């Protein structure tokens, strides 16, 4: 009898010992906390609903990469799906789409000054998409079909105005705000650009463009360039130019170009495009430059098709060095930033988070 | 034309089988042939099995701190359950690293499936009237089964309590009420009546209501050292599950049984924990019902025959309210799916000598799917699939050796109302297995099996708007297993010991994988996975004295599951949600009518994608305990689940509940009812 009792006691204690000895170890890795100087912030979108949006900081002076600098500086994550970012004055504004907030961060310290939740009157998320700035205000396109006005001094959302459905790109040109109504969440995509007067903050008119307009960029000559994604069938990706000076605004399709994304620096509009083969592999990657003043393509392959290994996801130009920064993704794993000189040679690369989507250059 | 031929063939085969089974009636009632499953106890079933099988009896099921099939499945070796948390949360079961869509789920001998998603929501089944749950790797060992049982990489089977004639025509049953955390209230009723020695009918009903609310710690930063307390909302569930079973014995070894089952559930889908957001409106509505008939004839020594016929209807509706859907009425997205399945199966087993069994089964079934999406203008594809299976199995048994081989032939044909249909598919899939008693006087056996099988693309894989691809190949698996099983009844102080150790190598080829892209993603057979693993199982039964008993069980799995997709960024990495180490253990102590027990579930670290720290999910241990006291009529049980309030996640950003409680009270129903005939005697 005694032996049996001892046996059961041993059994019980063994089980308990095994269970209590193995425990979680939070790997607290030492993180580098750098000072921010001449460098680059990359906004990594992260994966949708994985709450892993992040900021990568690349120091141009010593080439050190700090991944997730927002968490390093603020001890908390950036949020879910970082969609757009812009710098105005000393602050950086980030539209965090699925967390539905605007993060206002000090550009030089990386410390958050305010986290502004974007909710509609019923307390539902209004889902910020893109940002534009003008006269001390930040304009935010909201996926619930509105544009909000944020004051950069008080950091309060002052007004909202209703536009078309699922607005995406937003730019200011010729003292007017242009926002692309994509209708991306609807059965039938939208095909309009809403024009807003910034002083009255009302919609003055709507411009008809090719179906599913997404990307908007403004040049220095009062033109707004639009990339419409088409209908993924008979209507391809289409590049258009809106002349804001004419009334009503005139829209011209720029033929023979089907870019996915673009950026404008000076007179140069940089763009990239690609397509899919039968195995859903990315093919025909092409990188072109279009001159906005002469209205001609000046370079149809400023880098080779194979220069970026996977899929290009972002394109930005350093205003000082004129280097071209192209972000690469495969939608699941961490990405990479490729930096090319104006002559098309690859200067350097650095790792980014998942889906690098936008860059801000900090120059002293 | 070929579909009609298939049905005709099945009917002809059925009639032939029936005739043969009835033709040889010489030893019908008295002879009990030594079939490998007709021996006492489940231990024999597991030790003699050439293909590994693990079993939980009704009693063990009650002692696992579980309320549904997937929670029970977590206690089997080699199983990875993807648990999205909460009472109504979706849970899928993957066996030996092969993925949930490769797992077959069998209910009373019939494989159940969802042709749209390829995965069964196991929460659909009430465990209140379940008599046994088993997990078979490869396929169940009994070759007298439908062809469809040979058509998965592994089968999770469960069987209902079939009414047994108890000598008089009494109404028996049980009323149970469960309550506890998350605002849980679950009343269950089970009643059973024998109308004669030949006919019995049982009914069961299981109602469930829970708020599903719980507090959890949400990680604010990726290191996990900055947390904020949040409440899991939109996690409520109300459901009703009812079932009727009737069995009519034409003879002692010949019966026909009928089952009708209904399932209704409406629940919130809380979704992942989004940083800085608490908005969640996704809801899921399920309305399913099925009816099945089973005829079995084992009267003859040489021929055994069975037939299954089944109809299943599944309706699922998903809704989401969001200001992003500004174009939809009430900003509400509504997606609904209706599936129908008609199934027929016929199995004939020929048993010419004591050592040899030959079975042939033919199955045929029809699936269709209707979809409706209020945010889509395209016409419904409305696919239809005809599937035919033919299987031949041969089993040889003697005292020390049992070997088995089977060859399964699968043919599918599909048509659609709109758009291209998937091409016809035809495949042959072999399996071989053996079990050999190494030492004559000891119950020590070596076992091995090889199985080649596949899973067909689901209707979602083929036809889901923008994403689907009709030219998908089936996803094929090859399983190689070698193991040792040992059972000992003569160890001092221990009444029973069973130990099993299996080493296995599995390959997944042409894995159906989503390829992300812009503006939309697609799906192809690009994946390739290699799994090398070990499963170990130990069971002990220790009698303390005449009144008390200790039961102990522990299992451990080591799994190295590598992504070997050529050209992949993740080549060589451990596939998502697959821990290297995992295991479970149960210990219970019984004294007369009281039983108390302790359960532990362990999972090592794993990643939710690329093997980097940012994607790491920490290892976790969940401890649970229960105490139960039973009298002849009443039973009371109290449970504490997640005793140490472990804050963990199985799926990234889907938090599991902390410590929670449950109390169950049940009452046996025995109504005495005199048979009219007897009154007049």
pLDDT tens-digit map of B33-56: 333 333 335 667 888 899 999 999
**Dist. CA B277–CA A125, nearest whole Å:** 8
Peptide bond into B519 cis (omega under 30): yes
For A24-30, the CB contacts below 8 A with 24+ separation are A24/B618, A24/B619, A24/B620, A26/B223, A26/B224, A26/B225, A26/B618, A27/B223, A27/B613, A27/B616, A28/B223, A28/B225, A29/B223, A29/B613
Contact B600, B591 (CB under 8 A): no
Contacts of B619 in chain A (CB under 8 A): 22, 24
Q: How far apart are the CA of B353 and the nearest CA of chain A, in angstroms? A: 47
Residue B128: predicted pLDDT? 82
pLDDT per residue over B90-129, tens digit each?
889 999 999 999 999 999 999 998 999 888 888 888 888 8
Residue B558: predicted pLDDT? 98
**Cα angle for residues B323, B329, B332 (degrees, 5° grid):** 55
Q: What are the tokens at B583?
A: 């295991």
Domains of chain B as residue ranges with CATH: 2-29+40-680 (2.40.170.20)
Contacts of B275 in chain A (CB under 8 A): 51, 77, 79-80, 99
pLDDT per residue over B159-172, tens digit each?
988 766 667 777 88
- Contact yes or no for B618 and A24 at CB 8 A: yes
The Cβ-side half-sphere exposure at A340, using a 13 Å CA radius, reads: 18
Residue B146: predicted pLDDT? 97
**Selection from B231, B277, B280, B617 nearest residue A77 by Cα:** B277
Name the residue facing B279 among A47, A68, A124 (closest C-beta): A124
Q: Which residue of A has its CA nearest to B466?
A: A232
Contact B668, B636 (CB under 8 A): no
Torsion of CA B640, B644, B645, B646, to 10 degrees: -120
Q: Which residue of B has its CA nearest to A166?
A: B324
Contacts of B585 in chain A (CB under 8 A): 15, 18-19
Q: Give me the mean pLDDT over the A286-298 stretch.
A: 96
Q: How far is CA B127 from CA B93, B142, B180, B413, B587, in A?
A: 16, 24, 17, 36, 21
Contacts of B633 (CB under 8 A, 6+ apart): B667, B668, B670
Residue B490: predicted pLDDT? 84
Is the pLDDT reported for residue A302 higher than 90?
yes
Residue A247: predicted pLDDT? 87
**pLDDT confidence bin for B507, thresholds 50/70/90:** very high
Q: How many CB atoms lie within 10 A of CB B646?
A: 17
B positions 578-617 inside 8 Å of A (CB): 585, 587, 589, 598, 600, 602, 608-610, 612-614, 616
Is the pLDDT reported for residue B5 higher than 90?
no
Q: Give me the mean pLDDT over the A210-222 stretch.
A: 96
**Dist. CA B272–CA B415, nearest whole Å:** 37
B394 at A interface, C-beta within 8 A: no
- Contact yes or no for B324 and A5 at CB 8 A: no
Contacts of B377 in chain A (CB under 8 A): 187-188
pLDDT per residue over A308-319, tens digit each?
999 999 999 999
Query: How many residue pairs from chains A and B have C-beta atoms closer than 8 A?
Result: 170
Q: Which residue of B has its CA nearest to A48?
A: B274
- Contact yes or no for B323 and A125 at CB 8 A: yes
Q: How far apart are the CA of A346 and the nearest CA of chain B, in angstroms? A: 22
Pick the residue of A8, A188, A190, A315 with the most B CBs within 10 A to test the interface with B by mutation.
A8
Contact B247, B257 (CB under 8 A): yes
Is the pLDDT reported for residue B245 higher than 90?
yes
pLDDT per residue over B352-365, tens digit each?
999 999 999 999 99
Name the residue facing B226 among A75, A117, A332 (closest C-beta): A75
**Cα angle for residues B224, B226, B232 (degrees, 5° grid):** 80
Strands B154-160 and B103-107, bridge-based pairing: parallel
**pLDDT confidence bin for B494, thresholds 50/70/90:** confident
Q: What are the tokens at B109?
A: 């001998």
**Dist. CA B668–CA B175, nearest whole Å:** 6
Q: What are the tokens at A66?
A: 């700090």
Helices (H), chain A: 2-21, 69-74
Q: Give me the mean pLDDT over the B619-635 stretch.
A: 95
- Contact yes or no for A187 and B273 at CB 8 A: no
For residues A28 and A216, the model is more confident at A216
Q: Strand pairing partners for A41?
A: A57, A360
Q: How far apart are the CA of A246 and the nearest CA of chain B, in angstroms? A: 31
Q: How many CB atoms lie within 10 A of CB A262?
A: 21
**pLDDT confidence bin for B179, thresholds 50/70/90:** very high
Q: What are the tokens at A15?
A: 């089980």
Residue B410: predicted pLDDT? 98
Q: What is the mean pLDDT of chain B?
A: 90
Q: How far apart are the CA of B178 and the nearest CA of chain A, in angstroms? A: 28
Contact B277, B322 (CB under 8 A): no
Name the residue facing B275 among A47, A77, A126 (closest C-beta): A77
Q: How far apart are the CA of B343 and the nearest CA of chain A, in angstroms? A: 35
Length of chain A: 364
ipTM summary value: 0.88
Residue B171: predicted pLDDT? 86
For residues B172 and B423, the model is more confident at B423
**pLDDT confidence bin for A33, thresholds 50/70/90:** confident
Q: How far apart are the CA of A111 and the nearest CA of chain B, in angstroms? A: 15
Question: What DSSP letter does each residue of B220-288 carry, written as one string?
Answer: SSTTS--EEEEEE-S--EEEEEEEEEEEEEEETTEEEEEEEEEEEEEEE---S--TT------EEEEEE
Name the residue facing B221 among A11, A71, A165 (closest C-beta): A71
- Contact yes or no for A185 and B545 at CB 8 A: no
Contacts of B527 (CB under 8 A, 6+ apart): B508, B510, B511, B512, B513, B563, B565
B224 at A interface, C-beta within 8 A: yes
**pLDDT confidence bin for B392, thresholds 50/70/90:** very high
B653 at A interface, C-beta within 8 A: yes
Contacts of B568 (CB under 8 A, 6+ apart): none
Residue B26: predicted pLDDT? 38
Contacts of A27 in chain B (CB under 8 A): 223, 613, 616
pTM comes to 0.90
Q: Give me the mean pLDDT over the B485-491 stretch.
A: 91
Is the pLDDT reported for residue B87 higher than 70?
yes
Is the pLDDT reported for residue B1 higher than 60?
no
Is the pLDDT reported for residue A2 higher than 50?
no
Name the residue facing B323 among A75, A120, A311 (closest C-beta): A120
Q: How far apart are the CA of A185 and the nearest CA of chain B, in angstroms? A: 6
Is the pLDDT reported for residue B282 higher than 80?
yes
Dihedral sign of CA atoms B19, B25, B30, B32 in order: negative
A103 CB burial (10 A radius; 0-12, 13-18, 19+)? buried
- Contact yes or no for B517 and A80 at CB 8 A: no
A114 at B interface, C-beta within 8 A: no
Q: How far apart are the CA of A198 and the nearest CA of chain B, in angstroms? A: 24
**pLDDT confidence bin for A4, thresholds 50/70/90:** very low
């Amino acid at each position: 009898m005694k032996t049996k009792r001892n046996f059961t006691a041993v059994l019980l204690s063994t089980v308990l010992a095994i269970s209590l000895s193995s425990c979680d170890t939070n790997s607290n890795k030492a993180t580098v906390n750098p000072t921010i100087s001449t460098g680059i912030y990359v906004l990594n979108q992260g994966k949708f609903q994985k709450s892993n949006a992040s900021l990568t900081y690349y120091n141009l002076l010593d080439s050190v990469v700090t991944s997730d600098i927002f968490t390093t500086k603020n001890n908390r994550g950036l949020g879910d799906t970082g969609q757009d970012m812009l710098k105005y004055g000393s602050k950086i504004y980030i539209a965090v789409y699925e967390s539905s907030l605007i993060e206002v961060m000090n550009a030089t310290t990386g410390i958050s000054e305010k986290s502004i939740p974007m909710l509609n009157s019923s307390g539902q998320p209004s889902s910020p998409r893109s940002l534009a700035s003008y006269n001390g205000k930040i304009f935010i396109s909201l996926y619930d079909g509105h544009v909000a006005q944020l004051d950069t001094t008080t950091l309060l959302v002052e007004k909202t105005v209703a536009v078309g459905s699922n607005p995406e790109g937003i730019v200011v040109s010729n003292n007017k705000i242009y926002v692309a109504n994509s209708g991306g969440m609807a059965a039938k995509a939208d095909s309009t650009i809403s024009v807003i007067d910034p002083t009255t903050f009302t919609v003055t008119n709507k411009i008809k463009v090719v179906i599913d307009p997404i990307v908007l960029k403004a040049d220095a000559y009062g033109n707004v360039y639009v990339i419409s994604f088409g209908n993924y069938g008979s209507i391809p990706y289409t590049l258009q130019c809106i002349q804001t000076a004419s009334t009503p605004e005139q829209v011209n399709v720029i033929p023979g170009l089907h870019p996915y994304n673009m950026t404008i620096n000076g007179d140069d509009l940089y763009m990239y495009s690609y397509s899919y083969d039968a195995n859903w592999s990315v093919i025909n990657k092409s990188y072109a430059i279009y001159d906005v003043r002469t209205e001609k393509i000046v370079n149809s392959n400023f880098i080779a098709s194979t220069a970026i290994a996977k899929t290009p996801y972002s394109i930005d130009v350093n205003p000082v060095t004129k280097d071209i920064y192209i972000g690469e993704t495969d939608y699941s794993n961490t990405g990479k930033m490729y930096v090319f000189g104006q002559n098309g040679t690859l200067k350097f690369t650095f790792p980014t988070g998942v889906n690098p989507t936008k860059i801000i250059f900090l120059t002293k | 034309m070929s579909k009609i031929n298939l049905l005709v063939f099945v009917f002809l085969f059925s009639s032939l089988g029936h005739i043969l089974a009835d033709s040889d009636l010489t030893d019908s009632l008295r002879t009990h042939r030594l079939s490998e499953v007709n021996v006492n106890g489940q231990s024999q079933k597991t030790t003699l099995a050439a293909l590994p099988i693990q079993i939980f009896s009704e009693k063990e099921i009650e002692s696992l701190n579980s309320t549904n099939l997937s929670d029970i499945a977590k206690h089997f070796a080699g199983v990875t359950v993807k648990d999205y948390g909460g009472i109504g949360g979706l849970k899928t079961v993957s066996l030996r690293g092969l993925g949930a869509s490769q797992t077959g789920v069998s209910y009373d001998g019939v494989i159940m499936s969802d042709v749209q998603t390829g995965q069964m929501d196991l929460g659909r089944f009430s465990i209140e009237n379940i008599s046994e749950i088993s997990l078979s790797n490869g396929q169940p060992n009994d070759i007298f089964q439908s062809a469809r049982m040979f058509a998965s990489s592994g089968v999770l089977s469960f069987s209902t309590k079939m009414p047994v004639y108890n000598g008089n025509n009494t109404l028996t049953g049980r009323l149970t009420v469960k309550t506890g955390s998350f605002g849980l209230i679950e009343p269950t009723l089970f009643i059973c009546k024998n109308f004669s020695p030949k006919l019995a009918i049982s009914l069961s009903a299981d109602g469930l209501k829970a708020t599903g609310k719980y507090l959890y710690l949400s990680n604010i930063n990726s290191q996990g050292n900055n947390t904020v307390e949040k409440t899991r909302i939109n996690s409520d569930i109300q459901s009703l599950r009812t079932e009727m079973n009737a069995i009519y014995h034409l003879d002692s070894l010949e019966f026909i049984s009928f089952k009708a089952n209904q399932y209704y559930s409406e629940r919130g889908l809380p979704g992942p924990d989004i940083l800085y957001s608490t908005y969640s409106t996704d809801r899921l509505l399920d309305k399913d019902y099925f009816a099945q008939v089973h005829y079995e004839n084992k009267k003859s020594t040489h021929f055994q025959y069975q037939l299954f016929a089944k109809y299943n209807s599944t309706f699922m509706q998903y809704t989401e309210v969001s200001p992003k859907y500004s174009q939809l009425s009430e900003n509400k997205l509504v997606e609904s799916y209706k599936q129908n399945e008609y199934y027929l199966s016929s199995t004939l087993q020929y048993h010419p000598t004591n050592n040899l069994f030959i079975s042939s089964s033919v199955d045929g079934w029809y699936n269709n799917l209707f979809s409706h999406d209020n945010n889509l203008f395209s016409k419904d594809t409305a696919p239809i699939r005809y599937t035919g299976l033919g299987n031949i199995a041969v089993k040889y048994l003697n005292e020390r050796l049992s070997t088995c081989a089977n060859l399964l032939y699968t043919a599918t044909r599909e048509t659609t109302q709109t758009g291209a249909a998937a091409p016809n598919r035809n495949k042959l899939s072999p399996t071989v297995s053996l079990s050999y008693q190494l030492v004559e006087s000891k119950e020590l056996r070596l076992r091995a099996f090889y199985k080649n099988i596949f899973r067909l693309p689901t209707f979602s894989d083929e036809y889901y708007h923008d994403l689907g691809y009709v030219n998908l190949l089936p996803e094929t698996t090859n399983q190689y297993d070698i193991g040792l099983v040992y059972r000992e009844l003569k160890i001092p102080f221990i009444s029973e010991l069973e130990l099993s150790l299996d080493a296995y190598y599995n390959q997944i080829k042409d894995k159906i994988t989503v390829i992300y892209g812009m503006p939309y993603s697609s799906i192809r057979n690009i994946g390739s996975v290699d799994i090398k693993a070990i499963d170990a199982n130990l069971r002990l039964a220790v009698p303390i004295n005449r009144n008390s008993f200790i039961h102990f069980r522990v299992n451990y799995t080591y799994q190295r599951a590598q992504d070997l997709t050529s050209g992949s960024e993740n080549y060589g990495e451990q596939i998502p949600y697959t821990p290297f180490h995992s295991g479970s253990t149960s210990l219970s102590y019984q004294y007369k009518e009281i039983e108390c027990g302790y359960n532990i579930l362990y999972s090592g670290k794993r990643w939710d994608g690329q093997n980097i720290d940012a994607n790491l999910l920490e290892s976790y241990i969940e401890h649970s305990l229960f105490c139960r006291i039973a009298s002849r009529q009443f039973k009371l049980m109290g449970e504490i689940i997640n005793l140490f309030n472990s804050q963990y996640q199985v799926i990234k950003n889907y938090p599991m509940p902390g410590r929670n409680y449950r109390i169950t009270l049940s009452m046996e129903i025995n109504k005495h009812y005199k048979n009219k005939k007897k009154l007049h005697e």
